[in-house]
Structure 1
Amino acid sequence: MTAPRQRTLFGLLPWPERQAVAEALRTETIGGMVLLAAAMVALVWSNTPWSEAYEQIRDFHFGIPALGLDLSVGHWTADGLLAVFFLVAGIELKRELVVGELRTPATAALPVIAALCGMAVPAALYAATAAAGGGSLDGWAVPMATDIAFALAVLAVISTHLPAALRAFLLTLAVVDDLGAILIIAVFFTSDLNLWALGGAFAGLVVFYLLQRFRVRGWWWYVPLGITIWALMYNSGIHATVAGVAMGLILRTTRDKGEAASPGARVSHLVHPFSAGVAVPLFALFAAGVSLSGDALAEVFTGPEPLGVVIGLVAGKILGIFLGTYLAARFTRAQLNPDLAWADVLGLSVLAGIGFTVALLIGELAFPGAEVGEHVKAAVLIASLTAAVLAAVLLRRRNKIYRRLYEEETLDADADGIPDIYQRTPATGDND
């Protein structure tokens, strides 16, 4: 009986997985650049003499009151446009569960353990900081999520050639983070339930599933049904973004015979650019506009709630993800890629401390209309900037190694569309 081959941590990804990851990250990177621009516009606009106009636009209400949909611009972006973001997140999670890193216990162990530690430790540090300062524990979930688009935009700005396996690990971390965030939003930030509306939303999801089950095609079926499910979910008292991730998880991500692409892949291809380039940046535009006065900045480091967010995102993410990855590697007896070092995992852990979109959303839900909510938003921005700077310093130090690995992974001397390394070397990554 032969001994099982030892798995390599952050080794070469299988070619199909690398293609899927590259496509997802390409859109996220471009969207991240737009997200950065939107956040900068929000910050500048809200700290100029025209800040009153910013607040008037953000708080302007419109909709259909008879259907319970009379929302402000800010709420339309948070409850409506972010549902599109979570639709894409649901599709990506389904793909990971079916054909990606999460499809088997062996490959799922590392990113899941790392992500869970990366959520639990920041939440614990926030709770400890807030309790020590006599603050509110309501914001414990704010520092738990990683913003993959923002993180990839930072990588693009600092021009770091991070190996595909590390990027894939970061993407999977963010996917698990998103699932954790939506569960937290659904369970802990649900107002009084309207059971009739909730029942209607579930009935709509059943119809959505049956349409997929019986291979019904045509946007005219799914778009009106999706909007109806979203509206019913909003009126049920559960945050409307839950509808997005539920529909994403229902969409089929495997191809039938004769299909060029699965429904999930087709929807993701059509919707992902809108999500990354329009929906998330517009949310950032109306969520990131906070005061950066001296008093407001001082409150970030003196108020227990915002300070807990900063410590949770910066220190908590580093400790949680690095220790989670190390423990998972020891538990699964995986060997670190000999071309990499644990310093690379540390840099990735720091990068994961960039929490923006979901952190801002949970901050709004945890502290609605409260002054401390604005300080928590400022804390998210400052913590994300701090994590970005630290990650840039750590990752740039190793960029020569990353560049060499990147060139080896992408060299295609015979120009056949497949990198040469895949034609002479079996994949040695987590997918073994």
Structure 2
Amino acid sequence: MKRPHWTTGNGIELLENGEEYFPAVFAAIESATQEVLIETFILFEDKIGLALREVLIAAARRGVRVDVTVDGFGSPELSESFVTGLTEAGVRLHVFDPPPKLSRRLKPFRRLHRKIVVVDGTIGFIGGINFSADHLIDFGPEAKQDYAVSVRGPVVSQLRRATQEILATATATAGRRWWPPRGGLPEEPGVQALPAQAGHAKAVVVTRDNHRHRDDIERMYRLALHAARREVIIANAYFFPGFLLLRSMQRAARRGVKVHLVLQGQPDIPWARWAARMVYDQLMRAGVYIHEYCERPMHGKVALVDDAWATVGSSNLDPLSLSLNLEANLIVEDRGFNRALRDKLQPLMQTQCRLLKLEETNAHRWWWRLGVGAMVFHVMRHFPRWLARLPRQVQPVKPVAETPVVVPAPQRPAEAWQWHAEKRLSKETAE
């Protein structure tokens, strides 16, 4: 792993759920004068997607260069009218690795799972929040609990660079890998190559891909666990780490560190729960505390260690995120930000979670459940590595017009609600 390039002088603000995230992002886009760069796994054509569309169209019409990249699996269908309004205004909408029409939903591996926004090279956003209404409390019981950050300062240049590397493939020649050509990408006029200092936080953007940075995010977690002396809190939506990360958590707990995991109380896949419960046994016997979040679906991907280290990003601690998907996390060393994240997670653990007891994880286990659970555990643990050994085909980024993403929009309002509901349901297990 290439040594991460830490930057100092950053201002970082924690944003909880869509109520804080969407207004901040939309306000930044409304003030843009030069450039807007967006990457997202999911863009739904609901009230959030429509609101984003309006601010992007307005930005493009006043001369701002706007590039939006969505994932071909996470955002498989957008209506013709939705896309046309964007492209006619000058927004450049790209699709990462769009599947062929006949296999639209058969490419769930090696996806663009990152959520990044960069405006004018001076302010950036990164976290786990997609552009969809299910990140708002008024969505109902299925509204997601999630986190992101607003960033100013030199580290914004790293966010911008990450998005540029993806966009480079939109114009790369056939057969070129997805990383950009040597010499880098040209700077846009008026965009700051290195933003001015805006605070005191030390930060770095860490990515995961299938070429040069295959385990960077996992390794940063392990280094933080190794250095932990007092406390670790990890809140993660999909938790099924590999042996090395599990061992790091166990070792930290055994040397007296209070390791708390905040995980989903209602996992999406029942058979995966059997394997996860076997992981719970190992961790809890080492002294790790496991809290099941029961209020709403947990979608966060955040962690803190002691008083200064923290991370917020798109990476789950599961095989897809750690071994296959393109992910991005911000690592922060700052006492103020660490305290802000702890102030959000501790009340959540105390009032909205259930602390598991060891006897709950191994009670009523029949021999056949142990056998099936062990099989699932080992298959899920090794499956991503098996896939990673397959030839790594070039994953293209194409203009939306050259993909099967655009579909006819439903005509009547009732049909529209049903259409968007079906799209939303089809994504529940993908995230």
Between Structure 1 and Structure 2, the one with more helix by share is 1
Between Structure 1 and Structure 2, the one with more strand by share is 2
What TM-score, normalized by structure 2, do the two folds share?
0.27
**Comparing both chains, which one has the higher relative contact order based on Cα–Cα distances under 8 Å and sequence gaps of 6 or more?**
1
